[in-house]
Structure 1
Amino acid sequence: MEKELVEHIVRSLVENPEKIDINVIEGEKSTILELRVMESDLGKVIGKHGRIAKAIRTLLSASASRTGRRVTLEILD
């Protein structure tokens, strides 16, 4: 569910939504989402001073708190 949430948000931000790649790494109590976008779209996902990335992470942790798991978003370049 968290992967779909991140994908939906990021698709609306970037110019090349077909180049979005999200890798899910499941752990015992946590999940890591590795997000890759085109280099030209990286700034749109991170935002000024990281504000957009922080907002996405806040939404993600709120969504994951219902299941009692910890979800981390890593934006890779």
Structure 2
Amino acid sequence: MVTDFVAEYARLIASYPEDIRVEMFEGDEIAEIVLYANGADIGKLIGKEGKMIGAIKTVISGCKAKDGKSYRINVETAE
């Protein structure tokens, strides 16, 4: 599942992997994935010039071919 991939990938990067949480909100054509992380890890997850989050987006975009949905991903601070 897409959310499992995003969570595991984020845990590999994060300094506080225990704070990683992923939720998905599905619509008819678009599914929004919200990645919650410790505030100290936000910069790591986004990466320099957005390269880390871009890599995650590239991999999950391959899922569109399988189920026809587009995926949008947002990184937010965990509460």
Q: Compute the TM-score of the two structures, normalised by the length of structure 2.
A: 0.89
Identify the residue that residue 75 of structure 1 maps to in structure 2: 75
Identify the residue that residue 49 of structure 2 maps to in structure 1: 49
User: Which structure 2 residues correspond to residues 25-44 of structure 1 after superposition, within 5 A?
Assistant: 25-44=25-44
Gaps of 5+ in 1: none
Identity of aligned residues (%): 27
Gaps of 5+ in 2: none
Q: Compute the TM-score of the two structures, normalised by the length of structure 1.
A: 0.91
**Which amino acid counterpart does residue 26 of structure 2 have in structure 1?**
E
Following superposition, the deviation at residue 64 of structure 1 comes to 3.3
Aligned length, in residue pairs: 77
Following superposition, the deviation at residue 65 of structure 1 comes to 2.3
**Which amino acid counterpart does residue 43 of structure 2 have in structure 1?**
G
Deviation per CA, 1:4-54: give whole Å up to 9, x if none: 110111010001111012121110122100111001111110000111111
